[in-house]
Structure formats: structure tokens, C-alpha cells
Amino acid sequence: MRTWSIPAGRIFGIEIRIHVSFAILLLFIGLTEQIAHNTVSPWRGTALLAIVFGSVVLHELGHALVGRQSGVPPRAIVLLPIGGVTIFDEAQPEVPANWKRDVRIAVAGPVVNFLIAGLSALFLHIAAPNDRLWADPYVTSANLAHSLVWANLWLGFFNLLPAFPMDGGRVLRAIFSRTMEPAAATRRAISIGRGFALVFLLAGWWNAWLAVVGFFLFVAAQMEDRSAVFRSVLETVRLEDIMLTDFATLSPADTLEDALEKAVHCLQDDFPVIRGADMVGVVSKQKILQTLRREGNGYVQAVMNRIFDVAQKSETLSSAFRKLSARNLSIIPVVENQQLIGIVTLQNLMHSMALLAETRKLRKAALES
């Protein structure tokens, strides 16, 4: 998902990213406008795009702020032309399932759009009583005030479609999750969403806009499917399945030059520091290098991080992830009966997650075919 979107600043501390498919909308608007009027005023075209863009941002902020208020802090918003996706922070401690809260968060986006549409229609009615709001074309650069009303009405209604990951689909999932496992509820909602995408794509023969909508629905369902697979990997795989059991350790009495020498001979970036049978700290290759450059040679004891967390081998990846991000660490020692039996590093965690997600997808595809 990150690879297909570019960062665009922050609002209320929430990262905003723009999905590349926004460029496709830009092209499409340009083309249809060109056909309709022969000439496009670039200023009006840009203003129309800004209206759609701003409405999507406000829609997503609706989800994000209601989410934050109900104890599900958002991390980022990825903007798609049909409404965007709010990504909630998976590194945070897990929040207990609560279908009413999920419905509230899902409905907040469309509510924002209906509010904007209602207020701007009211304002328009007062400012220009003779204006015919119901006249075609509804969304056009030739009438920006009408576009503001109709684009928001359209965004609100479209997002209420029960096509996951549209908000209506999220409501559906929340309802499924009353009687189903969360992962199964998500899967069912995603497959209904794919069905909708297909219907829209087929309807493209009749109206090109519908095919565009189907395409975006498909992209969004695909993104959700990927993150659902990641989540299931995080929740079900245990540390003993991925921990590194063959690793180098340092002693607090090692000099930094010795430590660097050792680091050169292995691929590890982070090292547990062991005194006798006890683990007393962790240190990274980068930290060793930095200190050597800045202060010259010294002892590992002086630079190691004494604050660290340990994990049991039966803990899940998501629990290790939370421990790492809570203290901003890059290594977590795995212990059994107070003995160090392995390490999990951030690098190793990311790598195995990508591999596990891939093998699960392949297995799932093999089962379905």
C-alpha cells in the first residue's frame, strides 16, 4: 500500500497519503470535460478536483476523529478518489471487538458528506433562490456550487454501498462479527465487495464511469485483503516459528572495536549483551559505529541499552511488534526459563511477515482453485 501512495502532509497529527489512482481520476475528468465542452478552463478543472479532493479528505477525517474519540487511534489516511482508506494503528494494544463502535466509525464519513451537501444546498438556496439544483449535469466544472452539493451526495451514498471496504461494507462486517470470528467476518465482507466491483466493471459497457468505480472498488478490496492476510499472520504465528536461533552475542566487557569486528562477520544489526548466563542489555551496530566515530574506543557496557523487553517463544508476532514499537526497540530477546533461546529483530520480523503472507496467499489460492 505504501508503495502505491505518496505522502501529503499531516492533519490533526494524522498522516495523509495520496494513492496514485488519483492521477487516473485527474485524467478521466480532463477527458470527459474535454468531450463535453471542447475546451477546459484549467482553473475550473482544478477547482472541481479540489472539491472532490477536499470532500474525500473531510470524509476520512470524519472516520479518523470518531475513531480516535472511541479509542481506535488512526495512523494514516490513504486517499482514493472514491473515499480513501483510514488505516488504524496496528502497533497499538489490541482494542476489544465492539460492533457498535465499528458502525459509528464507518457511518461518520458519509455523515460528513451529507452535512456538507445539506449546508451548501441550503446556502445556495438562500444565495440564489431561482437556481435549479436538480438540473443535469450535476458534477461539472461549469457549475462548481452544484458540483459541491452533488459530489458530496454522491460520495455519501456511494460509500454506504454494502461493498467492503466501502463504509456500508464495514457496517456489514460489524454486523457479521456479532456472530462470526473477526477474520471470517472480514473475508465474507471482502468477497461481497469483490462481487460489487465485478458488477460495476460489467456495467461499464453501459456507462464508463461505472467501470472506473468498479476498478477503484477492486483496488480497495485488494488492499483490504492484503492487510487482512497480514493481520492473520500477526495474530497466529508465534515467535518460535520465526526467531533467529543462530546469532552472535556481545559481552559488556568487549571493546567497541572488538564488537565492530564481530559485527562485520555476521548479518545482524542488533546484538544481545550477555554477562555469564544473564542478558544485561542490547546494542545496535549503528550505535557502536556512531560512538566509535564520536568518542573513540570504549566498552560495550557504556553504550548498550539497558532497557529492553523480553518475550516468550509462544507469544504472537503482534505482541512482539507492540513490545518493539512501545519502546522504539529493534531487537527483542526470546527467553525460556530465563535462558536466552533466540532473538527477533525488526528486520527479521518484517522479512518473515512478508514471506508468511505470501505463502498464505499461495496456499489460499491453491485451496480455492
Q: Which residue is nearest to Zn ion (CB)?
A: 109
How many CA atoms within 13 Å lie on the side-chain side of 283? 29
Stretch that binds Zn ion, among 14-22, 81-89, 229-237, 260-268 (CB under 5 A): 81-89
Shortest CB 108 distance to Zn ion, Å: 8
CB < 8 Å & 24+ apart, contacts of 346-353: 347/269, 348/242, 348/243, 348/244, 349/242, 349/317, 349/320, 349/321, 349/324, 352/237, 352/242, 353/230, 353/233, 353/234, 353/317
Shortest CB 61 distance to Zn ion, Å: 10
Those residues whose C-beta lies under 8 Å from the C-beta of residue 194, and which sit 6 or more positions away, are: 218, 221
If the CB atoms of residues 165 and 214 are measured against Zn ion, the closer one turns out to be 165
If the CB atoms of residues 109 and 214 are measured against Zn ion, the closer one turns out to be 109
Stretch that binds Zn ion, among 76-84, 204-212, 223-231, 292-300 (CB under 5 A): 76-84
Q: Are 208 and 307 in contact (CB under 8 A)?
A: no
Shortest CB 282 distance to Zn ion, Å: 41
Crossing angle of helices 99-127 and 42-69, in 10° steps, is 140
d(CA 151, CA 209): 14
Residues 336-355 that bind Zn ion (CB under 5 A): none
Per the document, the length of the chain is 369
d(CA 15, CA 7): 7
Site string for Zn ion, 134-173 (x = CB under 5 A): -------------------------x-------x------
Stretch that binds Zn ion, among 27-35, 107-115, 138-146, 258-266 (CB under 5 A): 107-115
Shortest CB 56 distance to Zn ion, Å: 9
If the CB atoms of residues 141 and 159 are measured against Zn ion, the closer one turns out to be 159
68 vs 18, 72, 219, CA distance in Å?
Answer: 21, 5, 26
Query: Which residue in 67, 74, 81, 109 binds Zn ion (CB under 5 A)?
Result: 109
If the CB atoms of residues 21 and 159 are measured against Zn ion, the closer one turns out to be 159
If the CB atoms of residues 219 and 259 are measured against Zn ion, the closer one turns out to be 219
Shortest CB 192 distance to Zn ion, Å: 16
d(CA 199, CA 206): 12
- Does the CA dihedral 367-186-93-351 come out positive or negative? positive
If the CB atoms of residues 58 and 144 are measured against Zn ion, the closer one turns out to be 58
Q: Are 238 and 315 in contact (CB under 8 A)?
A: yes
Shortest CB 10 distance to Zn ion, Å: 19
The verdict on 102 binding Zn ion (CB under 5 A) reads no
If the CB atoms of residues 109 and 272 are measured against Zn ion, the closer one turns out to be 109
Grid coordinates given for 88: 488504524
Q: Which residues sit at the interface with Zn ion, rule CB under 5 A?
A: 83, 109, 159, 167
